[in-house]
């Protein structure tokens, strides 16, 4: 326990409005030693990090989700309320509450401080981003503010060396004083109480702050373009375009390097003096399987780089603002834009990001359609099939046909997500007016490299952990299924034809025959449930092709000789819709708190996939693609 503080260490909780620089402060205090996990029972992320104070005290710093009030409305805010009030089952009960406020945007924060004072635990206020406030000519009389609030107040600059010294010293002083928690006076405030508190906050603000007259001129100028009704949308589309270009183009060298490493490892194992069966297990099952998934790490890192960057800049709230009306037409909330954007990387963070949507109905609609967005796990499947069946030629003189089909699949995903949410809104929740869209548009901030790096590192670790657990075990399973039972002596057919995999594939044949699927596809679909991309590796194993860097080409050759065009297109259509991801279903169950929405998602996607594949197959045959 040298890096993580022990469970007995005092807990200091950071509470504040969204966008107050709380997470940057948390990163500055704990560095990369933080641990990200989920709170018990909910998927709201719990960030805890150890800190040694100047006096040598070890404390645990907890970063709580941003909120305007302890009156919780979303799962995110419930966590903040429960921890602040000490109502949780977890061991995280704060000994000191540090309210973090953006010094250049104090008004709403002061009301929150007044609310926190009623909780009956030691509270202090840290004015963050003091440098930005000073630059904008805002002067705050810190001593007077402390007297007015009856709390210790310090200033901090999270991004500068030594910027947290005053805060650390005060944390030490507070913890040394060891005030015991008194009974809480906090009750859910009504409108009258909130109004009174905000007026009190306004009075204090007026008496301690000078020069808060003018808004941030940079934000005003940038917003003149970025929030312009037409130019704003054009810029948003341009940003999305650059983002997806980057995901494909920039990731290429990294992906090649990772492939080369796994290829090298595979070769290494092949040369070891081991029994053939063990060798095959290590090379095809372990290294090949996990490698086929880890290869997406660069794409996921790049996508998250953009998402975190836009978030830190303060742009995400603007994107939600611009998209609100457009998405509203399909029955989605403006805030659903960010979760759906994340779903292009992976539906799991997408579903988790729906926590920012307060209203349960809006949140459920977003969760239902998030898996329809084309996630990065579909990319290898699409690439393989397109490469094998779609001729590499140009249409209209300048557009590559293969790229066009890829674009079409993405569009199909988006269009069906909008269509499904439209239907859900009209059929299931008809007549209920939608949740209000209310969102603070924070001043733009320069992102901090350190915070970005920590965020990316966290995402990458989560992905690698997944590859190391779920995907690894699925690859082992498919290898076992494809290898046992071993063929009898003197067998003439390929050994896989005697395996369990072949028997399973043949057994479900009657179900998938109308879609033009053969037993090999059926077998690949099963482990594809664990992770979509595994289907590529599975098809490789099933068609008994030894791996290597040219593996993709070889699978493509095998497929194009054994599948009809109609089958290939039906397979693509299936993959646009099919609920082929157990982890997404699991996260839906956890986020919605029950099995019901898992099954709703599973069956509606399965039905869509079946119908789409069936129609595609029949139409393709009618046009001579059989």
Partner 1 sequence: MSSEPTIALGTARVGFRGRIKAIAAGRVAAGMSAPELERRLIELGFVEGADVEILHQGLFGGDPIAVRVAHTTIGLRRREAMAILVSVGAEP
Binding site for partner 1 (CB under 8 A): 68-69, 71, 73, 104-105, 107-108, 111, 189-191, 194-195, 198-199, 202, 212, 215, 219-220, 223, 227-230, 233, 317, 320-322, 324-326, 334, 359, 432-442
Closest CA to 555 of 569, 538, 575: 538
To partner 1, the closest distance from the beta carbon of 205 in angstroms equals 9
Q: Which is nearer to partner 1, 210 or 228 (CB)?
A: 228
Find all residues with CB under 8 Å of 147, minimum gap 6, and list them: none
Minimum CB separation of residue 358 from partner 1 in Å reads 9
Q: What is the 3-state secondary structure (H, E, C) of 514-555?
A: HHCCCHHHHHHHHHHCCCCCHHHHHHHHHCCCCCCCCHHHHH
Q: Which is nearer to partner 1, 432 or 465 (CB)?
A: 432
What contacts 276, CB < 8 A, 6 or more positions away?
Answer: none
Strands (E), 272-417: 394-395, 399-400
Q: Which is nearer to partner 1, 326 or 611 (CB)?
A: 326
CB of 56 closer than 8 Å to CB of 5: no
Nearer to partner 1, 170 or 223 (CB): 223
Closest to partner 1 by CB, 323 vs 598, is 323
Q: Is 279 left (phi over 0), alpha (psi -120 to 50) or beta?
A: alpha
Sequence-ordered list of residues with C-beta below 8 angstroms from that of 402, at least 6 positions apart, any chain: 386, 387, 390, 391, 392
Rounded least distance, CB 201 to partner 1, Å: 9
Helix 378-389 vs helix 565-577: crossing angle, to nearest 10: 160
589 φ, ψ (degrees, to nearest 5): -60, -45
Q: Which is nearer to partner 1, 215 or 594 (by Cβ)?
A: 215
CB of 434 to partner 1, least distance (A): 5
> Which of 215/626 has CB closer to partner 1?
215
Alpha-carbon span 356 to 363, nearest angstrom:
9
For residues 8 and 427, which CB has a smaller minimum distance to partner 1 in the complex? 427
The one-character DSSP state at 210 is E
Q: What are phi and psi of 580, to 5 degrees?
A: -85, 50
C-beta of 324 vs 553, nearer to partner 1: 324
By beta-carbon proximity to partner 1, the closer residue of 28 and 236 is 236
Q: Which residues pair with 48 in a beta bridge?
A: 35, 62
φ and ψ at residue 478, rounded to 5 degrees: -65, -35
How near is the Cβ of 436 to partner 1 at its closest, in Å?
4
Q: For residue 615, count other CB atoms closer than 10 A to its CB.
A: 13
- Are the C-beta atoms of residues 30 and 51 closer than 8 Å to each other? yes
Please say whether the beta carbons of 587 and 351 come within 8 A: yes
Is the Cβ of residue 180 or residue 438 nearer to partner 1 in the bound state?
438
- What minimum distance in Å lies between the beta carbon of 444 and partner 1? 11
**Minimum Å distance from CB 78 to partner 1?**
15
Give burial (CB, 10 Å; 0-12/13-18/19+) of 126: buried
Q: How far is the CB of 428 from partner 1 (least distance, A)?
A: 15
Residue 519 near residue 543, CB atoms below 8 Å: no
- Cβ at position 68, least distance to partner 1 in Å: 4
The whole-angstrom separation of Cα 286 and Cα 279 is 10
User: CA distances (Å), 604 to each of 413, 421, 424, 448, 599, in order?
Assistant: 14, 12, 11, 42, 8
Least distance to partner 1, CB of residue 69, Å: 5
In the complex, least distance from residue 220 CB atom to partner 1, rounded to whole angstroms: 8
Nearer to partner 1, 265 or 313 (CB): 313
| Between 190 and 276, CB nearer to partner 1 | 190
What's the min distance (Å) between Cβ of 324 and partner 1? Answer: 5
Question: Sign (positive/negative) of CA torsion 603, 417, 530, 611?
Answer: positive
Torsion of CA 319, 321, 325, 329, to 10 degrees: 50
CB of 549 to partner 1, least distance (A): 48
Select 138 or 175, whichever has its Cβ closest to partner 1.
138
Cα–Cα nearest to 481, from 452, 504, 515, 506:
504
Which is closer to partner 1, CB of 266 or CB of 442? 442
With residue 61 as reference, give the H or E element that holds it.
strand 58-63
Output the smallest distance, CB 509 to partner 1, in A.
48
Closest approach of Cβ 516 to partner 1, in Å?
42
Candidates 65, 134, 60, 59; CA nearest to 102 is: 134
Q: Is residue 25 a contact partner of residue 126, using CB atoms and an 8 Å limit? A: yes
């Amino acid at each position: 326990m040298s890096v993580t503080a022990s469970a007995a260490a005092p807990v200091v909780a950071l509470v504040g409005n969204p966008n107050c620089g709380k997470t940057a402060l948390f990163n500055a205090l704990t560095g990369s030693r933080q641990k990200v996990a989920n709170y018990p029972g909910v998927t709201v992320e719990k960030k805890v990090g150890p800190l040694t104070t100047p006096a040598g005290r070890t404390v645990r710093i907890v970063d709580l989700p941003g909120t305007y009030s302890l009156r919780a409305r979303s799962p995110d805010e419930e966590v903040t309320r429960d921890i602040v009030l000490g109502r949780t089952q977890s061991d995280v009960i704060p000994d000191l509450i540090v309210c973090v406020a953006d010094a250049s945007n104090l008004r709403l924060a002061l009301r929150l401080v007044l609310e926190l004072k009623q909780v009956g635990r030691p509270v202090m206020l840290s004015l963050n981003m003091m440098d930005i406030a000073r630059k904008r000519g805002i002067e705050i009389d810190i001593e007077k503010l402390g007297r007015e609030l009856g709390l210790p107040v310090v200033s901090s600059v999270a991004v500068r060396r030594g910027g947290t010294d005053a805060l650390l010293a005060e944390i030490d002083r507070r913890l040394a004083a060891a005030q015991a928690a008194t009974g809480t006076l906090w009750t859910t405030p009504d409108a009258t109480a909130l109004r009174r508190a905000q007026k009190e906050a306004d009075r204090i603000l007026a008496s301690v702050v000078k020069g808060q007259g003018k808004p941030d001129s940079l934000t005003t100028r940038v917003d003149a373009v970025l929030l312009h009704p037409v130019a704003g949308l054009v810029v948003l589309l341009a940003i999305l375009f650059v983002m997806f270009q980057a995901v494909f183009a920039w990731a290429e060298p990294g992906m090649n390097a990772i492939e080369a490493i796994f290829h090298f490892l595979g070769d290494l194992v092949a040369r070891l003096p081991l029994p053939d069966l063990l060798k095959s297990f290590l090379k095809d099952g372990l290294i090949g399987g996990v490698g086929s998934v880890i290869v997406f790490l660069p794409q996921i890192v790049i996508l998250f780089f953009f998402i975190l960057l836009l978030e830190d800049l303060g742009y995400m709230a603007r994107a939600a603002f611009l998209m609100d009306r457009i998405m509203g037409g399909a029955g989605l909330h403006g805030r659903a834009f960010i979760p759906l954007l994340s779903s292009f990387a992976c539906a799991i963070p997408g579903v988790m990001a729906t926590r920012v949507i307060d209203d349960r109905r809006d949140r459920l609609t977003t969760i239902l359609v998030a898996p329809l967005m084309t996630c990065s796990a579909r990319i290898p499947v699409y690439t393989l099939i397109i490469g094998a069946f779609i001729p590499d030629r140009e249409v209209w003189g300048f557009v590559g046909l293969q790229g066009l089909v890829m674009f079409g699949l993405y569009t199909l995903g988006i269009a069906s997500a909008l269509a499904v949410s439209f239907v859900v809104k009209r059929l299931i929740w008809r007549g209920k007016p939608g949740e209000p869209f209310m969102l603070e548009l924070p001043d733009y901030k320069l992102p901090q490299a350190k915070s970005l790096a920590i965020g990316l590192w966290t995402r990458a670790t989560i992905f690698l952990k997944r590859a190391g657990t779920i995907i690894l075990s699925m690859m082992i399973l498919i290898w076992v299924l494809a290898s046992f039972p071993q063929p009898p002596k003197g067998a003439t057919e390929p050994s896989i034809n005697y395996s369990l995999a072949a028997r399973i594939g043949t057994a479900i044949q009657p179900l998938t025959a109308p879609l033009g699927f053969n037993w090999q596809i059926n077998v690949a679909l099963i482990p594809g449930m664990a992770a979509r991309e595994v289907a590529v590796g599975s098809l490789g194993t099933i068609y008994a092709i030894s791996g290597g860097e040219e593996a993709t080409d070889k699978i493509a050759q095998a497929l194009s000789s054994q599948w009809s065009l109609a089958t290939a297109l039906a397979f693509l259509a299936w993959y646009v819709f099919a609920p082929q991801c157990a982890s997404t279903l699991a996260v839906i169950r956890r986020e919605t708190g029950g099995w019901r929405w898992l099954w709703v998602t599973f069956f509606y996607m399965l039905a869509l996939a079946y119908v789409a594949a069936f129609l595609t197959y029949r139409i393709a045959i009618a046009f001579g693609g059989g």
